[in-house]
Amino acid sequence: MRTKSVIGLLCVAVVLVWTGVADVQAAPATPKIQLPNGEKVWDLNGDWEALIENFGPWEQFGTYPNVYRITQTGSTFSAIRLKDNPPPSPNRARSPSLRGEVEKNGFKEVYIVAGGAPILCKGQISEDGKKMVIEMEATARVTLTRP
C-alpha cells in the first residue's frame, strides 16, 4: 500500500514539474491593444529589424538591412528608418518608411514610403505578431521582425 502511495506522489510531482517547464519554455505573447470600439489589434510599437529587397525596376537599389521604429496610436501607425539606406537610395535615417492602419485580422492598409511618397502595398502580419511582410508588387518587399 505504501509503495502505491509513493508511486502516486511521484507521478503528481512529475506532472507538476513538466507543467512548470512547459510554461517557462513558452514564448512570450506579443501584446495587443484594445481600440475604443473594443477590437483588439497588434501593438506594433517599437524597433523592428527590416530586410529591404528591391527587384524589377528598383533592382539598382539592392537588398540591405535597416531598423524601423514604429509608433502606433490606436489603429494607425507610422515608421521611420533608423539608418540611412545605402546609395543610390535617397532615403536617410529619420525619414518616413511605412504608414498604415491595422485591424483585427492584420493590415487594413499599409504603405511603403519611398522618396517621400507613400505607395499602397499588400501586407501580412504573422499569427504571433512577430513578423510582417509588406510587398509593393513587382518592385520591393520589406520583411520586419521583432528582435
- Express each pLDDT in 84-105 by its tens digit: 999 998 899 999 999 999 999 8
Tell me the C-alpha distance between 39 and 32, whole Å. 10
Tell me the C-alpha distance between 49 and 147, whole Å. 6
Tell me the C-alpha distance between 132 and 125, whole Å. 4
Contact (CB, 8 A) for 27 and 128: yes
* pLDDT at residue 115, as a whole number: 85
Is the pLDDT at 10 greater than 60? The verdict is no
Eight-class DSSP state of 130: S
Instruction: Break the chain into its structural domains and give their ranges.
Output: 2-27, 34-145
Tell me the C-alpha distance between 49 and 112, whole Å. 15
Residues pairing with 49 in the sheet: 67, 145
Q: Which residue has the higher pLDDT, 115 or 66?
A: 66
Across 34-38, 56-60, 96-100, least confident range: 34-38
Q: Which CATH architecture has domain 34-145?
A: Beta Barrel (2.40)
Residues constituting the chain: 147
Is the pLDDT at 23 greater than 90? The verdict is no
Tell me the C-alpha distance between 54 and 42, whole Å. 27
Residue 105: Cβ-neighbour burial (10 angstroms; 0-12, 13-18, 19+):
exposed
Q: Which residue has the higher pLDDT, 2 or 142?
A: 142
- Which cell numbers hold the place of 85? 539606406
Q: What is the pLDDT of residues 103-115, one digit of tens each?
A: 998 999 999 999 8
Q: Which residue has the higher pLDDT, 36 or 109?
A: 109
Q: What three-state secondary structure class fits 97?
A: strand
Is the pLDDT at 18 greater than 60? The verdict is no
